[in-house]
Amino acid sequence: MPLTTAARPAFDLDGAWTVHAQVSVRPERFGALLYHFGTRRLSFLKDPKLLAVLEGLAAAPSARAACERAGVTADELPSYRAALTTLAGSQMISERTSP
């Protein structure tokens, strides 16, 4: 009997997101290192534009707006949505509860 995995809910690009309060972001030449002090997970961002998206999340009304401000094109948006989905799944980013 094959194993099935539940599909992840689609990342809400129109929701308000921010870098998790327990995450430290260290910019590097290649992108950035993210360290979550609660989960003790380390993530590597290999895309400086994704770093720009993360840096803009707190000030943007939505993840979509942060992507636009970072220069993400419509053709690139599905890839960035996938990356943000992964970051949300690993608790590196979280939904903002207040504006």
pLDDT tens digits, one per residue of 15-42: 999 999 999 999 999 899 999 999 999 9
One DSSP character per residue, 19-57 reads E-TTEEEEEETTEEEEEETTTTEEEEE--HHHHHHHHHH
Residue type, 20: H
Say what the pLDDT of residue 8 is: 54
Rounded CA gap, 63 and 84, in Å?
9
pLDDT of residue 9: 61
Q: What is the pLDDT of residues 52-77, one digit of tens each?
A: 999 999 999 999 999 999 999 999 99
Question: pLDDT band at residue 97, thresholds of 50, 70 and 90?
Answer: confident
**C-beta of residue 56 within 8 angstroms of C-beta of residue 70:** yes
Q: Is the pLDDT of residue 81 over 70?
A: yes
Is the Cα dihedral 17, 27, 49, 60 positive or negative? positive
Which residue type occupies 19?
V
Q: Cα 63 to chain center, whole Å?
A: 8
Instruction: Check pLDDT > 60 for residue 5.
Output: no
pLDDT given for residue 11 in this prediction: 87
DSSP 9: P
Banded pLDDT at 2 (limits 50, 70, 90) = very low
